[in-house]
C-alpha cells in the first residue's frame, strides 16, 4: 500500500529553513536568512505543486484522446485480412480499419 506523500510546500519550507540557517551562520544575520529561506522554499514548493497539477490536467486530456493502435487491434486487423478472398479485399479491409487510427 502506498503511503501518502507530503506537500512540496512543506518540503520546500523545510529545505529553506536549513539553507537559511547555513547562510545565516556565514552571513551573520541568522533570523533574517532563515525567514527568507523559508519563504523562498515555500514558494518554490508551491510552484512545483502547481506545475504538477498542470501536468496532470494535460495527462488526463491526452489519455481520453488516445488513438494508438494496440497489439490486440493489430492482430484483429491481420486476421480479417487473412480471411479476405483476394488481395484487393484485404487492402480495403486494412484501409477501412486504419481510418480510425489516423491523427
Summarize the confidence of residues 35-55 as an average pLDDT: 87
Per-residue pLDDT, 1: 43
Measure Cα distances from 44 to 10, 16, 54, 58 in Å: 10, 9, 15, 21
Answer yes or no: is pLDDT of 17 > 70.
yes
Contact status, residue 16 vs residue 41, Cβ threshold 8 Å = yes
Which residues have a Cβ under 8 Å from the Cβ of 46 and sit 6 or more positions away? Answer: 8, 9, 12
pTM beyond 0.85, yes or no: no
Contacts of 21 (CB under 8 A, 6+ apart): 30, 33, 34, 37
1: DSSP letter? -
Q: What is the pLDDT of residue 96?
A: 81
Helix (H, G, I), strand (E, B) or coil at 85: coil
pLDDT at 103 over 60: no
Amino acid at each position: 500500500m502506498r503511503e501518502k506523500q507530503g506537500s512540496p510546500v512543506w518540503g520546500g519550507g523545510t529545505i529553506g529553513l536549513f539553507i537559511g540557517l547555513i547562510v545565516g551562520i556565514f552571513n551573520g544575520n541568522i533570523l533574517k536568512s532563515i525567514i527568507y529561506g523559508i519563504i523562498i522554499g515555500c514558494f518554490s514548493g508551491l510552484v512545483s505543486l502547481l506545475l504538477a497539477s498542470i501536468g496532470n490536467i494535460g495527462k488526463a486530456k491526452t489519455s481520453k484522446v488516445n488513438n494508438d493502435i494496440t497489439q490486440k487491434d493489430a492482430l484483429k486487423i491481420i486476421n480479417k485480412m487473412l480471411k479476405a478472398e483476394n488481395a484487393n479485399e484485404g487492402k480495403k479491409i486494412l484501409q477501412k480499419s486504419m481510418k480510425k487510427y489516423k491523427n
